[in-house]
Amino acid sequence: MKKYIAFIVGVLHIFVMGSCSDDVNSPMEKDKSAPEPVYNVTVENLSGAALIHYSLPTNEDLLYVLASYTNKKGQVVNARSSYYTNSIRVEGFGDTDEYTIQLYAVDRSENKSVAVETKIKPLTPQVILTAGQLEINPDFGGINIVINNEARADLAIMVSTANEDGEMTTAETFYTALNTAKFFVRGYESEPRKFAVVVRDKWENLSDTVYAEVTPIYEIMLDKTKFKALILPGDAPATNWGGSLEYMWDGVNDGEAAHTGNIASGEPKYVSFDMGVTAQLSRFNLQPTADDKHMFNDVSPRLYEIWGCETFDPSGSFDGWTKLVTIENIKPSGLPVGLLTEDDRRVARQGDDADIPSDMPKVRYIRIRCLNNWSGNTNMVISEVTLWGNDK
């Protein structure tokens, strides 16, 4: 009896599985009648795209509208829009040429109507607009590139310059979807140099190349042997846990650091030092202690400011000081405090890099002002600081 029941169950299992497998990925309805086509077609041309409006047929089993066209690479591109709407967007065009679009009404049996053809003529795409408006300006050790991206398109800004053999090679590629952005390419001598910029969008459309010959502004890493501690009224002591201001410029990140302590306070804490030279600053780097206890954790600065002045008020006030830049220490993984990936550790060891705007005044004295650390108060531990700029 048990063998008989098992046999019946096995047969039923085969029957059910066979029936299910026959229906996988096939339309629930299987008529062969094509729906009526769309009608009353109108076109709204957009930047690098078009919005096509239409009236839908009255077929009850209508599922979606398909727009199909061939791009400049000879590839057939399809876009779909459900029967709940009466428009479809076609995009990814890298020019303003005229394109022919075929529109099909498609039912639940995947029957397609006869094609309705319409012409579109996209407006200038963002990839071309951005390239036509971008600025290439001299900056410390290189250039800065200012772009506008009104459509907030996903763009890549590809920058090339000559290598040692005089061949144009990629120096940097920046990615952005911001409506405005500024990028820096640095590491070059202060002598005339040719740069080339190409803008690319997510459909691999490329702009024409924008060329510029620019002389980078002189920049040097400031000599840390000239740095000196400066302790003004109101400054936080940096001597907790064996710390010292001098550890911030000893050239190593070996655990010895300036440490303002662990006593929580709602007021920002700050430390000061003398660079020993007046300079137009261009870049700043801060490294917290590079171990798992302090990486994106503990009293490592999370949000802080860099201030500078050429002469200071001995009372310790911020009168005459200029805020040069605000820096946020961002954890790449986004994991909770105490959890680290190898990418987190790599970024933490590199420290925070910040570009200082070129319109900032020349300064000699620096203040680091902590607004928030990774423990939620304003103490800070700093292992190393490095500054670049024009000291001439």
pLDDT in tens, the chain (392 residues): 444 444 444 434 443 444 444 444 445 557 789 999 999 999 999 999 999 999 999 999 999 999 999 998 889 999 999 999 999 999 999 999 999 999 999 999 999 999 999 999 999 999 999 999 999 999 888 999 999 999 999 999 999 999 988 899 999 999 998 899 888 898 899 999 999 999 999 999 999 999 999 999 889 999 999 999 999 999 999 999 999 999 999 988 878 899 998 887 789 999 999 999 999 999 999 998 888 889 899 999 999 999 999 999 999 999 999 999 999 999 988 899 989 888 889 888 889 999 898 889 999 999 999 999 999 999 999 999 999 999 98
Nearest CA to 386 among 287, 300, 308, 302? 287
* CATH (one of 2.60.40.1180, 3.40.50.1110, 2.60.40.2470, 3.20.80.10) for 126-218: 2.60.40.2470
In Å, how far from its chain's centre is CA 347? 16
| CATH architecture, domain defined by 39-120 | Sandwich (2.60)
Sorted by sequence, the CB contacts under 8 Å of residue 108 that are 6+ apart come out as 27, 28, 29, 61, 62, 63
Rg of the chain over all Cα atoms, to the nearest angstrom: 31
Residues comprising the chain, all counted: 392
Domain 126-218 shares a fold with domain 221-390: no
Distance between CA 169 and CA 159 in Å, rounded? 8
CA angle 48, 52, 56 (to 5 degrees): 160
CATH fold group of domain 221-390:
Jelly Rolls (2.60.120)
Distance between CA 301 and CA 307 in Å, rounded? 15
For the chain, what are the domain ranges? 39-120, 126-218, 221-390
At 268, list the tokens: 């920002």
DSSP of 309-364: ESS--TT---TT-EEEEEEE---SS-PPTT---HHHHHHHHH-EEEEPPTTSPPEE
If residue 43 lies in a helix (H) or strand (E), which one and from where to where?
strand 39-46
If residue 15 lies in a helix (H) or strand (E), which one and from where to where?
helix 2-23
Is pTM beyond 0.85? Reply is: no
Other CB atoms within 10 Å distance of the CB of residue 19? 9
Distance between CA 149 and CA 130 in Å, rounded? 6
